[in-house]
Structure 1
Amino acid sequence: MLIKEKSKRNEILSANSYKTNLWNYLRNRDESSYSNIKALGLFQDGSPFMDAESKEYFREKLAEKSVVRKEATVLKNDVDSSSIVTFPNKSIATWTKAGEHDLFTDALEMKDVDVNLEYSTLSNLITIHEDFLNDPQAKIEKIILDTFANNFAKAEDKAFITGSGNGEPLGLLVDKDIKSLFATKELKLDDLKKLFFSLDSEYRENAKWIMNDKTALYLQSLKDNQSNFLWSQYDGTFMGKDILISNFMPDIDAGLKPIAFGDFSNYWIVERQNPTIKRLSEMFILKQHQGFIMREYLDAKLMDKDSILTLSIEG
C-alpha cells in the first residue's frame, strides 16, 4: 500500500464520522450508515474496518487479557505484501582507529535469516439479544469489544504457545528451532535451575518462566527428606524471575514441554490491517439475537531462537 493511501485511510478511520456510522450500523442496523461506510471502500473479507478509537480500545483490552502478548513485541504493519523477511542484528560496539572499514565489513557480511512473517485470519462470532442491543442505557460498544478481546486473547495465547504455523502462528512449543533440555517426569527444582543457567546471560536479564497452574503447584509442593518445602516462599517468582501462568501450557507428562524460560520480547506479533467487524441479522432473527463477526489479521514467531529454552519431559 502506498504511503499516501495508507495515510488517507488512517485519517478516515480516525474521524468521528466514521466511528458514528460504524456503530450506528452495528447497533441499529442503520442502512444509510452502512452505505456511507461502503462508499469509502474500507472493507476486508466483506466486513468494514474497525474505527481507530475502537481498535485501540480493543487492542488495549487484548493486551490486558493475553499472557504472551504482554511480553511479546507487537508490530503494526499495514502493508499488503505477503511476508516480511528480517535478520537479527547481534553486532556490538567496536573500538576502531580513524577509519570505519571494519564496521562496514561486519555489516556487509551479515546474512538474512530465513524468517518469514505472513498473516492468518482469526475470527470470532458472538450474539446479543435484540432487547439488550436496543437498550439505550447499555454500553454495547464496550460490551462487544470486551467480549471479543476476551475470546481473541484465549485463541491467540493458544496459538502463540501450541500453534502449528499452518494457518495460525507458530507456537513456542512447536518451533523445532527452539532448544530443549530434558528432565524426567519426577521434575525437580534442580531441573529449573539447570534451565535457568543454560539460557545465555544476555537473555536472562529480561527472562520469565511460563507454565500452567498444575506445574506451578507441583513445584511449590516439593519437599526434602525432612518434609520442608524446597520452594519455601512463593511470590510469583522463581530465582528472581516472574512466573507467567497459562493453562495452554501442558502438564508434566512424557513427551510434553511443561515449562519455557526466556526473553519473550523476541517473540514478534505482527498485526496486518485493522480488525474488521460485521453485523449478521438474518441468521439469528428467529432467536431474537443479532450476530457479530470480528476478524483480525496477524502472524507471530520467535525471531531469535536462542532467547527461549523449553523443558521437555522424557518418555
Structure 2
Amino acid sequence: MSIYADDHAPETKAGIAVDAQDELRATFEDFKSANDERLAELERRRGDVLLEEKVDRINAALDAQQRKLDELVLRQARPQLEGRGKNAGDVAGREHKSAFEAYVRGGDAAPLRALESKAMSVGSNPDGGYLVPVELETAIGERLAVISPVRGLSAVRTISGSVYKKPFMTAGPATGWVGETDARTQTASPTLDALSFPAMELYAMPAATATLLEDSAINLDEWLASEIDQVFAEQESTAFVNGDGINKPKGFLAYPTVVNATWSWGNIGSILSGAAGGFAAQNPSDVLVDLIYALKAGYRQNASFVMNRRTQAAIRKFKDSTGVYLWQPPAQPGGRASLIGFPLADAEDMPDIAANSLSIAFGDFRRGYLIVDRQGVRVLRDPYSAKPYVLFYTTKRVGGGVQDFDAIKLLKFAAG
C-alpha cells in the first residue's frame, strides 16, 4: 500500500515515516544495477536502447521517491503554532492573539489598532494592515526555512529598518612581525566599504469563505500560515537564486562571474565543465572535484552543493575510481542526499544543464549569502474586492544578496 494512502499506515521513526526512505534506497540499488549494465554494454560497443530507457525510468523513479520523502519530512518539520513563542504565555501576547483573531474572523480592528498605538510599533506600513502575533510570525519564518532550500542554507538577519548595511574592509591595516626591541612603523588605516541589503515587500493574498471564518474549530493562525508559507517560499527561492535586485532580493546567479583563476571581490568564481552544454567526455566527474577545491579550506568544511533535480539525474551516473557512485541517497529520514560526501540541496530554480549555464553551485552559503527579514508580518482584511470571499493581503519585507564573494563557486557548462 502507498505510504500516502493512510497517514497512520507507515511505520515511523522519530516521527518520520521510514518506508519512503527504504523505498528510495531500494530504487537506488536498482538504478546502480541497471546503470552498471548500461556501462558494460557501452564498453562492449553495443549500446542497448531498451537498457538506456530502463536507466532513465529508474532515474525518474528516484526523483519521485525523493519527492515523497521530502514531502514527509516537510510535513513533520513544520512547527505547530499552539502554545509556542516567548510571548505565548504572557498577558500582552494573549491580548494581541485575541485581538488578531477578532480582526481576522469579523473585521473588528479597534482592539488591534489600540494595541499598536499603545506599542508605537516600528512596523507601521503606509498600505495599512496589522501585525500578526509574534508566535505566528516566528512560525512563518521557521516554515520558510524548511521549505526554501537557499534560506535553509544561508545566514538570516532580522532588522527593524528598511536597509541592512554590512561594512567590510577593502584594504586592511598594515601588519607584520617585529623583534621585541625593534621600532614599529606606523600602520596604515583600514579602508572600509559597505554592502547594502534593502528589504523589499513580498505579498500573498489568500482567500477565505465566511463559513471558514465562522467555524470556531478552525485555527486561523494555522490556516493563514499554511496558505502563505508555500507562496512566500516559492517567490523567495526564485529571488535568492535568480533575482535581479529590483524590488526583490538579488540572487547569487545575478552577480558577475569570472573564471576562478582571475577571481576578484565583487565577482563569483566559476569552473568550466570542459564541454559546451555538458560534462567532458573523458572523466566527466573530475570537474566536480575541481569545483570543491576551488573553495578555500575554511569554507569547504560547511559547504553544500546546490542544483535542481534534472542536474542531479545527470550526475547520478558518475562513479569514482573504485566504482562507488558519487551521489548517495540520504543516510536517514530527514537527511539530505550527498555528492562526494557533501550535502546536496534541491533548488528547482537553478538552471538546467545547457550551453554556458551555471547549473551547479558549491559553497558555504551561511557565510556567502545573507537574507534580511524586517520585523513584522502584516495582514490587511479585504471583504470587498472578491465578494463573497474575504481576502487577506499579507506582506513581509525581505532582502538578500551575496555577502562574501569568495564563499560560493559555480560550475559553468562551457568548453575549457
Please give the TM-score of this superposition, normalised by the length of structure 1: 0.83
Give unpaired runs (5+ residues) of structure 2: 1-89, 257-266, 331-336
Aligned Cα root-mean-square deviation (Å):
3.1
Question: Which residue of 200, 214, 236 corresponds with 2:296?
Answer: 200
1:88–1:189: structure 2 CA closer, same or farther, 3 Å change rule? farther
Contact 1:75 1:270 in 2 (8 A): yes
The whole-number CA distance in structure 2 between the counterparts of 1:35 and 1:274 is 15
Q: Secondary structure at the match of 1:166?
A: coil
**How do 1:170-189 and structure 2 match up within 5 A?**
170-176=250-256, 177-183=267-273, 184=275, 185-187=277-279, 188-189=284-285
**How do 1:265-284 and structure 2 match up within 5 A?**
265-266=366-367, 267-284=369-386
1:121–1:313: structure 2 CA closer, same or farther, 3 Å change rule? same
1:191 paired residue number: 287
Question: Which residue of 309, 316, 321 corresponds with 1:220?
Answer: 316
Contact 1:14 1:53 in 2 (8 A): no
The whole-number CA distance in structure 1 between the counterparts of 2:194 and 2:310 is 36
The whole-number CA distance in structure 1 between the counterparts of 2:354 and 2:105 is 48
**How many matched pairs?**
295
1:293 paired residue number: 393
The one-letter code of the counterpart of 1:241 is: F
Contact 2:170 2:193 in 1 (8 A): no
The whole-number CA distance in structure 2 between the counterparts of 1:253 and 1:270 is 32
Q: Secondary structure at the match of 1:179?
A: strand
Give unpaired runs (5+ residues) of structure 1: 1-11
The one-letter code of the counterpart of 1:258 is: S
Contact 2:148 2:237 in 1 (8 A): yes
How much does 1:126 deviate? 0.9
Larger radius of gyration: 2
Contact 1:220 1:229 in 2 (8 A): no
Identity %: 24
1:241–1:222: structure 2 CA closer, same or farther, 3 Å change rule? closer
Q: Secondary structure at the match of 2:160?
A: coil
2:130 paired residue number: 48
Q: Secondary structure at the match of 2:375?
A: strand
Contact 2:327 2:340 in 1 (8 A): no
The whole-number CA distance in structure 2 between the counterparts of 1:119 and 1:232 is 37
Contact 1:88 1:304 in 2 (8 A): no
Contact 1:50 1:275 in 2 (8 A): yes
The whole-number CA distance in structure 2 between the counterparts of 1:198 and 1:272 is 34
1:105–1:55: structure 2 CA closer, same or farther, 3 Å change rule? farther
1:20 paired residue number: 98
1:178–1:97: structure 2 CA closer, same or farther, 3 Å change rule? same
Please give the TM-score of this superposition, normalised by the length of structure 2: 0.64
Contact 2:137 2:377 in 1 (8 A): yes
Q: Secondary structure at the match of 1:181?
A: strand
How much does 1:219 deviate? 0.7
How much does 1:37 deviate? 4.7
Question: Which residue of 43, 60, 76 corresponds with 2:142?
Answer: 60
| Higher RCO (CA < 8 A, seq sep 6+) | 1
Question: Which residue of 247, 252, 256 corresponds with 2:353?
Answer: 252
Question: Which residue of 71, 74, 84 corresponds with 2:165?
Answer: 84
2:75 paired residue number: none
The one-letter code of the counterpart of 1:189 is: S
1:199–1:35: structure 2 CA closer, same or farther, 3 Å change rule? closer
